[in-house]
Amino acid sequence: MVSYNAVSQFTKVPTAVSLELLSHLLEDDVLALFKHVLASTYFCFKGHFYEQTNGVAMGSPLSPVTDNFFMEDFEKKVLEQATHKPVCWF
């Protein structure tokens, strides 16, 4: 049995790759909304405004959706390339 865990997963999801995956599934107008939300990652910390430049924003409703699409594709690629394929994968 093997268990995997991602550390700081949302901040490591590559938005460009995720948008490319989503472009095959979504219509152009919906994809444009995803692009806008994923590119507008400003937040305030101790009275100062910052822009998140990597990954998807924590707390954004689209972040889990985007992350799930990315991880599904990642798992598929890893399993296809695995030398020893698992009998069961959850």
What is d(CA 9, CA 21) in angstroms, rounded to the nearest whole number? 17
**Predicted TM-score (pTM) of this structure:** 0.77
Computed on alpha carbons and rounded to an integer, the radius of gyration of the chain in Å comes to: 16
Quickly count: other Cβ atoms within 10 Å of residue 57's Cβ. Answer: 19
Q: What pLDDT sits at residue 27? A: 93
Q: Which residues of 16-25 are buried (b: 16+ CB within 10 A; e: fewer)?
A: eebbeebeee
Q: What pLDDT sits at residue 46? A: 95
At 19-78, the pLDDT tens digits run: 999 999 889 999 999 888 888 888 889 999 998 888 888 778 888 888 888 999 999 998
Identify which of 36, 84, 27 has the alpha carbon closest to the alpha carbon of residue 60.
36
End-to-end CA distance of the chain: 11
